[in-house]
Amino acid sequence: MSKPAITYQQQLDLLKSRGLSVPDEPFALHILEHHNYYRLSAYRFSFTVPGNSDQFRPGITFSQLWDLYHFDRSLRQLVLEACKRVEISARSRWAYEVGHRLAPLAYLENAHFSDPLIHARTLTKLDSEMGRSKEEFIKHHKHTLGMPWPPAWVVAEVASFGNVSNLISQLRHSAIRQAIADGYGLDEQVFGSLLHHLCVLRNTAAHHGRLWNRKFTITFQLPRRKPPHLHPNFHSPPGTGNFRRIHNSLILLVHLLQCIEPATHWPERLIRLLCTLDPTLIPEMGFPPDWKTRPLWQALLTAHP
């Protein structure tokens, strides 16, 4: 290895040698002790000289670096909470529509799914999830009722977000997919692609990944007609850098949570968090320059100034 391990003090000295101002060294050392230097340094790029990521701009302080890290941590917590609510809702709607329109065990039938290989893999993962589950209702169905595969509304309670996404998007029956998506006022193809993206978003947040300026490789179809009020809020066409950032994802999360729980305070908490971020940094989340005048954000800012 060409790079030896260095002490916390050496890590701090390295940051200072690169131009970072550290007025409160004990505080900075404490942060380095509990947050990996390599992890924290990933937030430096917004504060460095263009073309030289190892040189901070004059006047940049350790507190600015920490504030951005803290913002991203709060954003992860909000996003993870929202994705979990969407996950529970999608599970519920899938179980209801499949159970009523097909049969309680229809999710086992390969003929109902467009890709037999993906369906087989999904069932294998579902079986593993049930095997790991400590829930009494799983044991009851397996051992008391003698059902190795419980009804859809039971298996939905242990299915991962990824498996629920596959069970919905892989359904051959577009009418059932649309019935599920109707609960959110979305086209079924848009909803299917959105679920796939939200699985990635949720897993990134759950594993402490950086969100605020991440470019996601798996995106989603923009809803253009259903519902019509959403489209003016989105930024950048597909394929561009800003389209791959979290701004558009947040718009859909606001919409989904308002469908799932109309009285939710999640959008209010989100807008308050966004307003704590240095305005010069918010474009790196994919927000357009006029984001505060876009209908969705303007309404939230007006309601919760």
User: What is the rounded end-to-end Cα distance, in angstroms, of the chain?
Assistant: 52
Q: pLDDT by residue (tens digit) across 113-140?
A: 999 999 999 999 999 988 888 888 888 8
| pLDDT above 70 coverage of the chain, percent | 98
Instruction: Among 60, 83, 99, give the residue marking a domain's end.
Output: 60
Does residue 2 sit within a domain?
Answer: no
In this predicted structure, what is the pLDDT of residue 153? 92
Average pLDDT over residues 62-85: 97
In this predicted structure, what is the pLDDT of residue 23? 95
Q: pLDDT by residue (tens digit) across 30-67?
A: 999 999 999 999 999 999 999 999 999 999 999 999 99
Per the structure, the count of domains in the chain is 2
- Determine the structural domain holding residue 13 and report its residue range: 8-60
In this predicted structure, what is the pLDDT of residue 230? 92
Q: pLDDT by residue (tens digit) across 194-209?
A: 999 999 999 999 999 9
Instruction: Among 18, 39, 60, give the residue marking a domain's end.
Output: 60
| pLDDT above 90 coverage of the chain, percent | 82
Shared-domain flag, residues 158 and 178: yes
Instruction: Among 22, 42, 60, give the residue marking a domain's end.
Output: 60
Shared-domain flag, residues 22 and 157: no
Shared-domain flag, residues 126 and 55: no
Does residue 262 sit within a domain?
Answer: yes
In this predicted structure, what is the pLDDT of residue 241? 67
In this predicted structure, what is the pLDDT of residue 4? 87
Shared-domain flag, residues 155 and 226: yes
Q: What is the pTM of this model?
A: 0.92
Q: pLDDT by residue (tens digit) across 169-180?
A: 999 999 999 999
